[in-house]
A and B are shown apart, each in its own frame.
Chain A
Amino acid sequence: MDPKDKATHSPARAALLRLVPLALLLGALVALPRFSDMAFLNAMVLVCIAALYAMGYNLLWGQAGLISFGHATYFAFGASCTIMTMAAIERGSSFPTPLLPLAGGAASFLMGLVAGWFATIRTGVYFAMITVAITELVRAIVQRWDTMFGGEAGITSIRMAWGPIGFQKLIDVYYFTLAWTVIGILLLWFLQRSPLGTVIRGIREQEERVRFLGYDTHALKTLVFAISAGVSGMAGGLLAFTNESTNVALYEGAYSTTVLINTVIGGAGVFLGPVVGATLTTLFGYYVANLTYYWLLYMGLLFMVIVVCAPRGISGLGVDAFRRLRSDAPVPWGRIVRQAAGWLAMALGCIMTIELIGAVVQPSYGALARSSGVAWPPVRVFGISWMPASPLTLGGIALLFSFGALMLRDGVVTARRNVAKLAEAIAGKPEPGP
């Protein structure tokens, strides 16, 4: 690109450059039901919900620099309160069905005000520990309070029609979820761009300075926590609306972890990063869960690789690549090809190892060995039958790992640096003491 050309880039053109891909994406999402089957449309509903949840979560992390380990509470509470409102509509309440996610959002916002006030007294690891404690406390209460939250069986209700909209077809649910997700994300974007958003970023960078400029940082952090909880509650409300049921399992720690993983994979530092992560992991589950029993293990590995090698997530990698393209620096094709080959070899090696061990440890494999009389019957991976004990198979795996390690060896230093940085980010800055 001609350097002069870059100098003439106007802000309007830069904005257009950002808006056009987003508009195209939105257009594709709106047109999706015309081309998609029911199963994929269903998966996309879950993608929207996970995306909104992760965006709400990342208001705390990406903007305010607070990493919560207990956001399931607000997601689940939003779901519970939405289903209760749905049940009320069924009984004849005039609450308009299209505003249901707001019921969940408002409930979680209020809960977030109380929880956030306590949690944000401290920062860093202490903040994270308080969020875990609150989550466990709420879970314990909810799981015992069957009359209110329905216990193991949960609460079920049905989506009642509102005016001309029946909300019975999946396509209605899809558009409803998509619309609320977009509204929620726009809300967060608006907040980020507002003067309050600037102050929140200031808190992330130098909280003490913000306080000494006259801002009540504890109150501000409480508000941010509550908004984050509220958006997560909206997402929970959408889940309740989609499933027409909730149960107390939603309050468990796994749902706090999922959103954290989505945010890390997508990247906390880019506004729409969490959407990328949520989309990827949800669709990963949709496709890979059908292929292998060990899909969660693969997701865990992917998470670890991203934490170590690309702590700014996939969107961070994307931003870096985009910047490099726009700068005059030459594209390091050699390194890219080498790393891609290395990762491919590593991935193949991992899949082979996991699938072979996974097949061999199944009780059915032992039964097969006994009945067929062969000590190590063949296992099918990638549509090929492998002899698990053959030196050829094991040697092949060893070769894949060695080749991968050789290709990726110069990444070790970067990886160590990244891990140290991440540890620092989670622990936060040391608090001022006497």
Chain B
Amino acid sequence: MTSGQGPVLVLEDVAKRFGPIEVLTGINLTLSRGEKRALIGPNGAGKSTLFNLVSGRFAPSSGVIRLGEKRIDGMPAHQLNRMGLSRSFQITQVFGGMSLYENIYMAVMSRHGKRWSLLRSGRVWRDIAEQTRELIDYAQLTSLADRQASTLAYSEQRALEICMTVATGPDLILLDEPTSGMSRVEAANMVAFIGRMTEGRTLLMVEHDMDVVFGLADTISVLSQGQILATGTPAAIRDDPRVQDAYLGGSAH
């Protein structure tokens, strides 16, 4: 778990190369507690790679990543999750053969450190069941709890994905294009849903939809050609000529 008043996430000079291709060069980024940061940038800017480095899918080629006080670059994903970092996926990854309840139950089990249990006895299992129910109620998915995940509608699966990400009890939540493939109405609902689910937590997200970005983020970082071009409030980013040049292309007036 991260603690104290310092920043939740710090990246210092992080770079990633795949063979001869330099995807990220010298990324510096600091996320303070409770901040909601969006990462935007044109296709191929390295947003997904940056996400994969932070969430432990890959190790960076150089540089330092810190979660709270602890250095985490190169750590496996499951350990990062136990330290309070949880991510969602751009392509929905839910357990299709299980009920929505079981999907979230598994995430809550992990939060309580019950990762090898053969028996379901003792207080903690009552707590796990109770917290699973509470979370489903809070997410307003109660009526879908017993449905098999693969039979849920796409937007419901996306909501489940977010719910599972939150259910492991993270301090820092990473969302990878949470509204990709959704209609405008669905995306607007999703913004409200994410706002409710991530209340009081630190959020870092990659998103293409500018309405979603401006609806959720209080700061924005623009990534272009493997580097951070600018960081600031939505209004400042909107007015930054460099950003308009590189990404918005004058469409945001």
The answer, yes or no, to whether B162 is at the interface (CB within 8 Å) is: no
- Please report the C-alpha to C-alpha distance between residue A212 and residue B94 in the assembled complex, in whole angstroms: 12
The answer, yes or no, to whether B253 is at the interface (CB within 8 Å) is: no
The answer, yes or no, to whether B96 is at the interface (CB within 8 Å) is: yes
Please state if B95 and A202 are interface contacts (CB–CB under 8 Å).
Answer: yes
The answer, yes or no, to whether B66 is at the interface (CB within 8 Å) is: no
- Please report the C-alpha to C-alpha distance between residue A216 and residue B76 in the assembled complex, in whole angstroms: 9
- A residues less than 8 Å from B58 (CB atoms): 434
Please state if A213 and B110 are interface contacts (CB–CB under 8 Å).
Answer: yes
- Please report the C-alpha to C-alpha distance between residue A304 and residue B55 in the assembled complex, in whole angstroms: 45
- B residues less than 8 Å from A202 (CB atoms): 95, 98, 106
The answer, yes or no, to whether B214 is at the interface (CB within 8 Å) is: no
- B residues less than 8 Å from A220 (CB atoms): 115-116
Query: In the assembled complex, how far is the CB of residue B174 from the closest CB belonging to chain A, in whole angstroms?
Result: 10
The answer, yes or no, to whether A190 is at the interface (CB within 8 Å) is: yes
- Please report the C-alpha to C-alpha distance between residue A375 and residue B122 in the assembled complex, in whole angstroms: 81
- Please report the C-alpha to C-alpha distance between residue A30 and residue B109 in the assembled complex, in whole angstroms: 41
- B residues less than 8 Å from A205 (CB atoms): 95-98
Query: In the assembled complex, how far is the CB of residue A55 from the closest CB belonging to chain B, in whole angstroms?
Result: 18
- Please report the C-alpha to C-alpha distance between residue A150 and residue B58 in the assembled complex, in whole angstroms: 48
Stretch of A8-16, A110-118, A191-199, A318-326 at the chain-chain interface: A191-199
B136-180 Cβ-contact flags toward A at 8 Å (1 or 0): 000000000000000000000000000010001000000000000
- Please tell me the number of chain A residues within 8 Å of chain B, measured between CB atoms: 25
B107-125 Cβ-contact flags toward A at 8 Å (1 or 0): 1011100111111100000
Please state if B102 and A215 are interface contacts (CB–CB under 8 Å).
Answer: no
The answer, yes or no, to whether A217 is at the interface (CB within 8 Å) is: yes
Please state if A206 and B93 are interface contacts (CB–CB under 8 Å).
Answer: yes
A-B CB pair tally, cutoff 8 Å: 80
Interface of chain A residues 195 through 251 with chain B (CB within 8 A): 195-196, 198-199, 201-202, 205-206, 208-217, 220, 223
Query: In the assembled complex, how far is the CB of residue A419 from the closest CB belonging to chain B, in whole angstroms?
Result: 22
Stretch of B7-15, B82-90, B200-208 at the chain-chain interface: B82-90
Please state if B77 and A212 are interface contacts (CB–CB under 8 Å).
Answer: yes
Query: In the assembled complex, how far is the CB of residue B80 from the closest CB belonging to chain A, in whole angstroms?
Result: 8
The answer, yes or no, to whether A334 is at the interface (CB within 8 Å) is: no
Q: How large is the interface on B (under 10, 10 to 19, 20 to 34, 35 or more residues)?
A: 20 to 34
Does more than half of chain A's interface fall in helix, strand or loop, or is it mixed? Answer: helix
The contact of B117 among A195, A201, A210, A211, by CB within 8 Å, is A195
- B residues less than 8 Å from A210 (CB atoms): 106
- A residues less than 8 Å from B89 (CB atoms): 208-209, 212
- Please report the C-alpha to C-alpha distance between residue A202 and residue B102 in the assembled complex, in whole angstroms: 10
- B residues less than 8 Å from A432 (CB atoms): 57
Please state if B106 and A199 are interface contacts (CB–CB under 8 Å).
Answer: yes
Most chain-B Cβ atoms within 10 A of its Cβ — which of A195, A199, A213? A213
Query: In the assembled complex, how far is the CB of residue A10 from the closest CB belonging to chain B, in whole angstroms?
Result: 16
Please state if B118 and A209 are interface contacts (CB–CB under 8 Å).
Answer: no
The contact of A201 among B78, B81, B97, by CB within 8 Å, is B97
Most chain-B Cβ atoms within 10 A of its Cβ — which of A198, A209, A217? A209
The contact of B106 among A190, A194, A213, A223, by CB within 8 Å, is A213
- Please report the C-alpha to C-alpha distance between residue A201 and residue B55 in the assembled complex, in whole angstroms: 23
- B residues less than 8 Å from A191 (CB atoms): 118
- Please report the C-alpha to C-alpha distance between residue A199 and residue B116 in the assembled complex, in whole angstroms: 9
Please state if B110 and A195 are interface contacts (CB–CB under 8 Å).
Answer: no
- B residues less than 8 Å from A194 (CB atoms): 117-120
Please state if B82 and A214 are interface contacts (CB–CB under 8 Å).
Answer: yes
Residue in B closest to A223 when the chains form the complex, CB atoms: B116
Interface of chain A residues 254 through 304 with chain B (CB within 8 A): none
Given A198-B105, A201-B97, A205-B97, A215 and B118 contact (CB-CB distance below 8 Å): no
Instruction: Give the 4 A-B CB pairs with smallest separation, nearest first.
Output: A214-B81, A214-B110, A209-B93, A195-B117
26 inter-chain pairs at a CB distance below 8 angstroms, sorted by A residue, are A191-B118, A194-B117, A194-B118, A194-B119, A194-B120, A195-B109, A195-B117, A199-B106, A199-B115, A202-B106, A205-B96, A206-B95, A208-B93, A210-B106, A211-B76, A212-B55, A213-B78, A213-B86, A213-B107, A213-B168, A214-B78, A214-B81, A214-B168, A215-B78, A220-B115, A434-B18
Task: With A195-B120, A214-B78, A214-B81 given, name 4 new contacts (CB 8 A).
Answer: A195-B109, A212-B81, A214-B115, A220-B115
